[in-house]
């Protein structure tokens, strides 16, 4: 298959490299990393074994042309670039797969392309981009693949088989929206509190009034720090339960035990920094809209009380604007 990777950070580069390694025709759409990747390719340092590939590289979508599959690994803060980056890559039969976090991404894509062409892959993986073209893969790697507002059809099962051939564990879901909320059970607390923790527990639990100065901002809190401090661990668990309650009110039943399963699973990650923490430390915009604000809006519209999520959103907005 001819595959374009749009957004070649940690996620896009990792899965694009996996597909390139099995002989798929993979094209990376690159900006600042173009020279490095064109010259040296992509190197994956993984607990499963290191490998190196040399994908095709392009600076513009027109250089790539229409593809069978488009994988979107962009940060959701760049979704306003969809109309510029994607039309040259998408034909009548192209599968457009977003690998992005949060809610609302598939809806944005469906405003540009027929809904039946839109899919989402939810990535459960510990990755960091070390430098241009170099990715550190620490743990996991599964993708849960589903179609926008439809049950999974034969094409989706075929794409899942291709990913499995590339060494990527892949499950297919017939209820993408349910799977998105399940992922938020982990993403909201560990990404959100990891960043909010940089301002300290009091700044989250008792946010300063509008216009007042934030306290000095320290280092973000990786997963191990959040799970070894009783106060932060309680907030993690409470946030997870709020997300589960919001999902339930919207018709997506997630058992309460799922929160504890996610916490115990995360203990094996060690000092992992989720993507939002890295963005914050690099003074890049946070993915507030898709990962925090849109879930908050949907919870409130469903009539669910989510005070911790609301407080987290306020704290993150203040921290984001302060950078």
Please, how many CA atoms are within 13 Å of residue 68, restricted to the half-sphere of its CB? 11
Which residue out of 183, 225, 234, 273 is catalytically annotated?
A: 183
Q: Residue 283: helix, strand or coil by DSSP?
A: coil
183 a catalytic residue = yes
Alpha-carbon distance values, 260 to 108, 165, 237, 255 (Å): 33, 32, 8, 10
Concatenating the DSSP letter of every residue in 148-198 gives TTB---HHHHHHHHHHHHTT--EEE-S-HHHHHHHHHHHHHHHHHHHHHGG
Cα 248–143–182 angle (5° rounding)?
A: 15
Contact 53, 133 (CB under 8 A): no
Reported as type and span, the H/E element at residue 25 is strand 25-29
Instruction: Look at the block and give the residue holding tokens 């229409």.
Output: 66
At 80, list the tokens. Answer: 């306003």
Q: Do the beta carbons of residue 243 and residue 295 sit within 8 Å?
A: yes
CA angle 132, 21, 26 (to 5 degrees): 70
DSSP state of 22: T
CA 255/CA 241 separation, integer angstroms: 10
**CA angle (237, 238, 240) in 5-degree steps:** 65
Q: Residue 170, exposed/middle/buried by CB under 10 A (0-12, 13-18, 19+)?
A: buried
Burial of 23 (0-12, 13-18, 19+ CB in 10 A): exposed
Would you please indicate which residues are annotated as catalytic (active-site) residues? 183
């Amino acid at each position: 298959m001819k595959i374009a990777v749009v957004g070649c950070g940690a996620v896009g580069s990792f899965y694009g490299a996996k597909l390139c390694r099995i002989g798929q025709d993979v094209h990376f759409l690159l900006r600042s990393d173009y020279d490095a990747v064109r010259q040296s390719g992509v190197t994956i340092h993984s607990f499963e074994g290191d490998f190196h590939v040399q994908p095709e590289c392009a600076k513009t979508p027109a250089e790539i042309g229409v593809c069978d599959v488009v994988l979107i690994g962009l940060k959701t803060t760049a979704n306003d670039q969809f109309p510029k980056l994607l039309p040259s890559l998408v034909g009548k039969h192209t599968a457009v797969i977003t690998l992005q976090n949060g809610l609302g991404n598939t809806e944005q894509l469906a405003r540009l392309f027929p809904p039946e062409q839109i899919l989402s892959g939810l990535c459960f993986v510990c990755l960091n981009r070390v430098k241009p073209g170099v990715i550190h893969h620490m743990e996991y790697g599964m993708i849960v693949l589903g179609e926008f507002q439809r049950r999974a059809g034969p094409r989706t099962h075929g794409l899942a088989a291709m990913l499995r051939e590339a060494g990527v564990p892949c499950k297919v879901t017939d209820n993408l929206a349910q799977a998105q909320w399940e992922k938020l059970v982990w993403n909201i607390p560990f990404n959100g509190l990891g960043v909010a923790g940089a301002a300290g527990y009091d700044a989250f639990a008792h946010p300063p009034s509008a216009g007042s100065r934030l306290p000095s901002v320290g280092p973000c809190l990786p997963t191990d720090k959040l799970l070894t401090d009783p106060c932060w661990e309680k907030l993690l668990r409470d946030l997870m339960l709020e997300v589960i309650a919001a999902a339930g009110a919207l018709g997506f039943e997630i058992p309460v035990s799922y929160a504890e399963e996610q916490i115990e699973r995360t203990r094996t990650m060690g000092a992992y920094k989720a993507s939002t923490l890295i963005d914050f430390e690099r003074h890049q915009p946070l993915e507030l809209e898709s990962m925090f604000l849109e879930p908050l809006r949907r919870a409130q519209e469903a009539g669910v009380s989510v005070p911790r999520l609301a407080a987290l959103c306020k704290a993150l907005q203040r921290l984001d604007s302060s950078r």
